[in-house]
Amino acid sequence: MLNSSFVLFYVQDAAASLKFYSQLLDREPVENSPNFAMFAFDSGLKLAIWSRDAAKPAPVAEAGSCELLFMAENAQALDAMHDDWLHRGLRIAQEPVTLDFGYTFVALDRDGHRLRVLAPGSETSHEHA
């Protein structure tokens, strides 16, 4: 039986992405080298970043073709995360909106990888000032 607990993003600048994710996730990597770093979440999921120039075989897809999803406890927590990420300078690809699966927004990392935040089942949309 297959089991997966690992997401890998190819990045242009591994050192800059290491700094970005260390600050965003408020944790240090569990592995770190000049071209690679890996972060471990309490859930067991691991997020790795690998320099596009060092990856073998060379990656062929651009960033943004998949998403890393973060769960928010509720709509208020999602709004707070959105405001925090705006303050940190993340690009927002989708402002908070209610979709079929819940209240959500999408931010982009420095390479354009999609970071979705979701408050599942939250049917109330909220407006930002």
Q: Which residue has the tokens 């699966």?
A: 101
Q: Tell me the fold of 67-120.
A: 2,3-Dihydroxybiphenyl 1,2-Dioxygenase; domain 1 (3.10.180)
Q: Tell me the fold of 6-51.
A: 3.30.720
This prediction's pTM: 0.86
Cα 105–chain centre separation: 11
Domains of the chain, by residue range, sit at 6-51, 67-120
Strands 114-120 and 36-40: unpaired
Which are the contacts of 27, defined by CB distance < 8 A and separation ≥ 6? 39, 40
Over the stretch 11-40, which tens digit does the pLDDT of each residue have?
999 999 999 999 999 999 999 999 999 999
Least confident of 39-43, 48-52, 77-81, 124-128: 124-128
Mean pLDDT of 109-125: 85
Q: What is the pLDDT of residue 129?
A: 38
Mean model confidence pLDDT for the chain: 92
* Residues forming a β-bridge with 116: 69, 106
Cβ 44 vs Cβ 3: under 8 Å: no
DSSP summary character for residue 62: P
- Phi/psi of residue 32, nearest 5 degrees: -155, 130
Mean pLDDT of 82-100: 96
